[in-house]
Amino acid sequence: MDPRRWWGLVIIALAQLMVVLDATIVNIALPSAQQDLGMSNGNRQWVITAYTLAFGGLLLLGGRVADLVGRKRTFVIGLIGFAAASALGGAAVNSGMLFGARALQGAFAALLAPSALSLLTTTFTDPKERGKAFGIYGALAGSGSAIGFIVGGVLTEYLNWRWCLYVNVPIAIIAVFGALALLHDRPGRTDARLDVPGVVLGCGGLVAIVYGFAEAEPRGWTDPLVLALFAAGVALLAAFVWWQTRAPSPLLPLHIIKERNRAGCFLTMALAVIGMFGLFLFMTYYLQVILGYSPVKTGLAFLPLTVAIIIGSTQVSARLLQRVAPRALMVPGMVLAAGGMIILTQMTVDSSYATEILPALLLMGFGMGLTFMPVFATATAGVAPEDSGVTSATVNTSQQVGGSIGTALLNTIATTSTTTYIAAHLRDPARKAQVVAEGTVHGYTVAIWWAAGIMLLAGLVAGLMVTTKPPKHGAPAPAPVPESVA
């Protein structure tokens, strides 16, 4: 065994941390970036969705590319591309340039994530060492969101929002040199094939649907362009499913999602994350714009949510999963998360963090923690070895796609509700600032009601579709996939 393998783990974990961190680090910087680049409230969500859409839409392809050209080479290409895209985003002079850079980041993250996991698997072959390595890797991936909130707050407050993107450049440079010196790989597989039509159809369908949600805010839900985008999205996704039954090397082998429990886990994950990503967006603006928190204070305000996710996942769900059926954790988890959302629907322009916001974040985080663990464990249990990679990538894809759709949909609902409220209540020009603030919070609460309903729908899906029984006494529970971006 390679005596430098643990240093190799540091490099792999550093790259994975960078990818996970970028899903949240920009959230805290978003109000400053929006003001600096003159983004509209309807368009601001593209800073998040451009990243998650490209990441989720290309993740399955990224795994195939790693098989074809070699994991180490794909890993290094992903790092260099991610650094370049981050530098481009940091130097953005308008919103379009920032959106494009974020999409490029997502595309290179889709190369990085599967190749990092594959390198970890091939570097640590001893079962005991592999368990320890995956534990370290999973802990870093799980804590990435918390680190992202805090680092994003510090960089935005003491330097500039652009440093939330520039910070990736030195991290990636260190990781590239470390990878070249420390990581080893087998040659790529000559029999691997890329399903390019599948990528075009799948990504095209998702982009059309998300773009339709974004355009519904300025144009209205019945606008011909909005309806055409939704129709095109559905048609492209239907064509994607049809093509996957005929493709020589399908991007997503359909037998993976035909199994009832696995399909239920994918759908539960997508619905759960719709509400979670929407919450990140609204609470960032609520804390900074309405309550006047600094970026650092905002980052710290999110910490209880992340801690609750980690406790719910590692201390409660991981222990109970060996004794109870997965849905006995997933359904209560979604009900608790929805309960936290419902508490947030009561927030006003002068709510107290300690008595109104904090309990909701703790409830929401604990519920999500209860749900994430059994979703990953059940979705990847009993999968044939040749399908394990694509299955774990599909769970992560459902997570990223749910985040994309959730951010676009809930942002549109919030901004539309805010506009309607202000138009109905702005009668005295002297009260304009107060009415705008009240209208903004009203928009957030309307969107959060929708998010709570979607969380309850996730619980219903889990209860009806995930019928796996608890493991027999003494049998090992299925291990969770550590690449989860909790």
Helix pair 432-465, 327-344: axis angle to 10 deg: 170
Supply the CATH classification number for the domain 253-486.
Answer: 1.20.1250.20
CATH 1.20.1250.20 at 1-194, yes or no: yes
Q: What is the dihedral of CA 116, 89, 300, 443, to 10 degrees?
A: -110
Q: Among 224-228, 322-326, 479-483, where is mean pLDDT lowest?
A: 479-483
Residue 220's region, left for phi above 0, alpha for psi from -120 to 50, else beta, is left
Whether 253-486 and 1-194 are alike in CATH topology: the answer is yes
- Among 79-88, 151-160, 386-395, the range with the most confident prediction by mean pLDDT is 79-88
Residues sharing a CB contact under 8 Å with residue 312, sequence separation 6 or more, in sequence order: 333, 365, 366, 367, 368, 369, 370, 373
Angstrom distance (rounded) from CA 403 to CA 213: 13
At 26-80, the pLDDT tens digits run 888 888 898 898 888 778 888 888 888 888 888 888 877 877 777 888 889 999 9
At 74-112, the pLDDT tens digits run 889 999 999 999 999 999 999 899 999 999 998 998 888
**Domain ranges in the chain?**
1-194, 196-247, 253-486
Element containing residue 189 per DSSP (H, E): none
Angstrom distance (rounded) from CA 83 to CA 19: 11
Residues sharing a CB contact under 8 Å with residue 431, sequence separation 6 or more, in sequence order: none
pTM of the model: 0.82
Judged against a pLDDT cut of 60, whether residue 401 lies above it is answered with yes
